Chain A
Amino acid sequence: MTIDIALWLTQDAITNGAVYALLALALVLVYTVTRVIFVPQGEFISFAALSLATLQAGKVPGTVYLLMAGGALVALIDGVAAIRAAQPRRLIGIVILNIGLPAAVAGAASLAALRPDNLWLQMLVTLAIVTPFGPIIYRLAFQPLAGMSVLVLLIIAVAVHYLLTGLGLVFFGGEGLRSPPLSDFSLHVGVLNITAQSLWVIFSSIVLIFTLWLLFEHTLYGKALRATAINRVGARLVGISAAFAGSLSFTLAALIGAIAGILISPITTIYYDTGFIISLKGFVGAIIGGMVSYPVAAAGALLVGFLESFSSFWWSAFKESIVFTLIIPVLLWRSLTARHVDEEEE
């Protein structure tokens, strides 16, 4: 291996690692607030990348219709609940949020599809399409079962993953798509060709990671969110709504996933099921962080990026095996250092 190749692999590692780090953070975020091991996280990446590419092609992506359908369903459920609770006034808010907002997004999407040259608008619309899936998924699939065991929540998460992957195939077909980079600018440092896109990826990741870390470790509100994961009833008694906290964490996770999808879609070809494997690598990073620590999870994700990049050079057939086997020494290390923790479920 020459130094050129090593440098090039390092660049690749850092760019991919930054994306994995974003996902690791989203997974840690959702887990610490809701105890859901959020397997469908990767679907946000696929949905965002493919929606953007579809808008580029001048078409309105199927995710827009899914958003309207999901919103309508939430409106129906919440609406019925509001009427039963004899609070018809809440209906207005429910309709605006769950029917009005998706309709507005749909309008924006059809506008953006007509403007293939305006990449920023399309990216913004993509974020607006994908992010609301977070709270919708939470409301429909998880909120009714929020008090259940981690296992039941995990099973639901996997089922939702199936559901969304299948819909991804329906909307976008089996072919992979790629979208254009934000700019063609690239920086030549010696032999290295640093693209503006990879800088964007790294920059956005750092900003997001830092913001989340600030939010959860250093604000009262962030701590309140974490409290709901530990004790739902207790959090409620001190005035934290578990449903709101859950919904918020899912929204953030969807936003992070959508940003990650937009960032990587010019770098690699995205298929309807690509997100899953990417998010699993984020999982490996998250596990290194013990599912609770943001900085360690981000570092772990970076490690995954390096391992992947360098093993693809030396032993590419076993690239995936090596990345996922990394978990075993990590668990070994954790099990030797961690104090015995007994998780007692009621």
Chain B
Amino acid sequence: MSRHVAGLAALGLLVAAPFLLSEFHIALMNYIGLASIVTLGLVLLTGVGGLTSFGQAAFVGIGAYTSAVLTTSYGISPWLTLPAGLALIAVIALFLGSITMRLSGHFLPLGTIAWGIAIYFVFGNLEMLGKYSGIAEIPPLHLFDKPLSDGREVYYPIWLVAVSLLFAVRNLLDSRIGRAIRALKSRGTMAESVGVDTSRLKIIIFLLAALLAGTSGWLYAHFMRYVNPTPFNINSGIDYLFMAVIGGSSHVWGAVVGAGVLTLLKEWLKDILPKLIEHSGNYEIVVFGLLIVLLMHRTRDGLLPFLVRLLPAGEHPKPPAAAESLPERPRPANCERMLDVCQANKRFEALAAVRDLSFELDAGEILGLIGPNGAGKTTMFNLISGVLPADSGEIRFRGERIDRLPAREIARRGVARTFQHANILPGMTVLDNVALGAHLRGSGGVISASLRLDRADEARLLWEARMRIEQVGLAAHMFDLAGNLSLGSQRAVEIARAMCADPVLLLLDEPAAGLRHLEKQKLAALLRDLRGSGISILLVEHDMDFVMGLVDRVVVMNFGEKLSEGVPQQIQRDPMVIEAYLGGVNELVA
């Protein structure tokens, strides 16, 4: 049974469930559906985006309470309270998101724990929300004047919403924005370098997760028809996170698996423990905690990846089909000054990594930036590409100052880069990794991606990625996970990704490191081709043979300063350069 068939079978069972199950089990299924929606948000936020929130139950509560108050006290139709609740949640989530997303990892989980606790006590103490006893007699949802009041009647609406949202999030992740989201967790710097506004994207996924939670809360209020603070306390917030992690937090269907397993596990413990131990109420949480610890020790990535591995993979995906090619940036005129670095300085506390460094790069030129280890080459690279701000000095790209711009703005102007340590997403295919480079050349947004309205845009991006992959000679590995490639191939992936951005200036940080002789020759040929097509290249490299045979000019750095500059033959004879390289004398002269 392939994975595809297994998915269809699960969907079939979901549709048939109301005809097979008892009232009690249907209620349980409804809970699982509601929890799946919240957990789905966490899969997006935590599993894929790497941001942990314990506060989802609070958003569920706001969705539920908003609708409860508006329908019972003001007689507003439940269909109108959904947008009202979501609007309120959006305001809160944007506020919380904007203050926590810029901070490093652990602030969000801790902040959301505190926020989850605070909101619970607000629910429990506000007169308007019925204090701890809550709000009763919430009207049911009506569909064509028919009330949906019992468990069987709400089953389909709940699961219809849940499954639609699951597909929407799955679509979102399989898109231009989705690739950027998948880069957030571990490759923020790289994502910025291809033009992704990572702070904004983090706020967006926090917002989406909150809205999903609010939707679940709204359904909950009209399905239970009664709300009190308990289901929205911090423990529920923790449970949702458990569901995401246990199910397999990097895959949307993990949300359903996690919600199902955890809900059933709790129910089962309530059921089985009294038969095993007296005073069982006390042991439920003990056994629950123990099982979670064991589960995490055994299946670190969650249950779904574990289960999926048991099933054979589907058929091999086809390479992206030909599509209209993306518009290209006009190439600069032959003598245009591309890059002008003037008196750049960068200190790290006592260490001056770059000192008063100046050099220029003209269109159609390959400039080598060389120097011994620790000379400040990579720091200089980071100053140009906007990863680090310069302390003083000016860096101009085609006449425009870029030294105060963030990396993504520099990328937008046609500068693409690779990294010294191949900065790829190991769990993503080569195709997706490369397509990420074309981020700024697509336009599909969150909504169009969720609804699959972005396919024409996506086809163009993937076609571009395919061409670049073929150009660097990785066509056979298009659907392999990038992490499984050799180091040399991973560097090729990086170059293909940079080319995907349609750059006019390419910054390559040690592209030949770890490459075999033949691979180096191929790389040199590729770079010459790129130069021929009007792309200027700045190259940091250690390998002298490679550099000297390829570049038009060389800038030599030592201790953060420019030691020498000139054409390769001149540099190879420069006594100061030879001195700086010491052990490299033979290599240089040879």
Contact = CB atoms under 8 A, between A and B. Distances in A.
Given A155-B292, A321-B125, A166 B106 contact: no
Interface in B108-130: 109-111, 113-115, 117-119, 121-122, 125
Contacts of B242: 155, 158-159
A154 B289 CA distance: 13
Given A154-B52, A284-B114, A344-B188, A163 B289 contact: yes
A103 interface: no
A155 B119 CA distance: 22
B186 A280 contact: no
A31 B106 CA distance: 10
Nearest to B110: A287
B238 A158 contact: yes
Contact of A345 (B50, B119, B121, B284): B50
A327 interface: yes
A170 B283 contact: yes
Interface in B177-227: 185-189, 198-199
B285 A165 contact: yes
A294 interface: no
A184 interface: no
Contact of B296 (A152, A161, A283, A341): A152
Contacts of B284: 166
Contact of B289 (A144, A159, A319, A326): A159
B296 A324 contact: no
A159 B52 contact: no
Interface stretch (A2-10, A189-197, A295-303, A328-336): A328-336
A166 B277 CA distance: 14
B103 A341 contact: yes
B113 A150 contact: no
Nearest to A170: B282
Contacts of A317: 121, 125
A78 interface: no
B289 to A, nearest CB: 3
A156 B199 CA distance: 28
Contacts of B46: 151
A162 interface: yes
Contacts of A145: 296-297, 300
B404 interface: no
A320 interface: yes
B293 interface: yes
B99 interface: yes
B249 to A, nearest CB: 8
Name the interface size band of chain B.
35 or more
Contacts of B98: 335
Contacts of B110: 37, 283, 286-287, 291, 327
B344 interface: no
B104 interface: yes
Interface string B147-188: 000000000000000000000000000000000000001111
Contact of A342 (B188, B290, B296, B297): B188
Contacts of B285: 162-163, 165-166, 169
B245 interface: yes
Contacts of B289: 159-164, 166
Interface string B276-301: 00010011111111101100110010
A320 B293 contact: no
Contact of A152 (B105, B188, B300): B300
Interface string A278-295: 001001101100010000
B282 A166 contact: yes
Contacts of B286: 162-163, 166-167, 170
B296 A155 contact: yes
A325 interface: yes
Contacts of A89: none
B103 A291 contact: no
A301 to B, nearest CB: 14
A218 interface: no
A148 interface: yes
B100 interface: yes
B546 interface: no
Given A320-B118, A338-B103, A163 B109 contact: no
A320 B284 CA distance: 27
B285 to A, nearest CB: 4
A341 B104 contact: yes
A175 interface: no
A331 B103 contact: yes
Contacts of A148: 300
A335 to B, nearest CB: 5
A328 B99 contact: yes
Nearest to B406: A340
B296 A159 contact: yes
B292 A159 contact: yes
A286 B107 CA distance: 10
A36 to B, nearest CB: 10
Contact of A344 (B117, B189, B288, B292): B189
Contact of B288 (A155, A162, A318): A162
A287 B117 CA distance: 15
A165 B283 CA distance: 10
Given A280-B114, A324-B114, A163 B282 contact: no
Which of A141, A322, A332, A344 is the most central at the interface, judged by chain B CB atoms within 10 Å of its CB?
A344
B241 interface: yes
A346 B421 CA distance: 12
A154 B245 CA distance: 11
Contact of A155 (B99, B105, B117, B245): B245
Contact of B117 (A144, A166, A324): A324
A117 interface: no
A322 B104 CA distance: 24
A325 B55 CA distance: 13
Contacts of B279: 170
B102 interface: yes
A202 to B, nearest CB: 25
A345 B282 contact: no
Interface in A105-164: 141, 144-145, 148, 150-152, 154-156, 158-164
Given A162-B288, A318-B121, A343-B105, A151 B113 contact: no
A323 B115 CA distance: 10
Contacts of B102: 335, 338, 340
Interface in B285-342: 285-290, 292-293, 296-297, 300
A287 B118 contact: no
A327 B111 contact: yes
Contacts of A338: 102-104
Contacts of A169: 282, 285
A340 B202 CA distance: 13
A163 B293 contact: yes
A158 B240 CA distance: 12
B388 to A, nearest CB: 11
Contacts of A331: 99-100, 103, 107, 111
Given A155-B296, A287-B111, 16 more contacts: A141-B293, A152-B245, A152-B296, A159-B288, A159-B290, A163-B290, A166-B285, A170-B282, A283-B110, A320-B118, A324-B117, A325-B118, A331-B103, A331-B111, A338-B103, A344-B189
14 contacts: A37-B106, A166-B283, A166-B289, A287-B107, A318-B125, A321-B122, A324-B118, A331-B99, A331-B100, A334-B107, A335-B99, A335-B103, A341-B104, A344-B189
Q: Sorted from nearest, which 6 A-B pairs have the closest CB atoms?
A: A163-B289, A162-B289, A166-B286, A166-B285, A159-B292, A324-B118
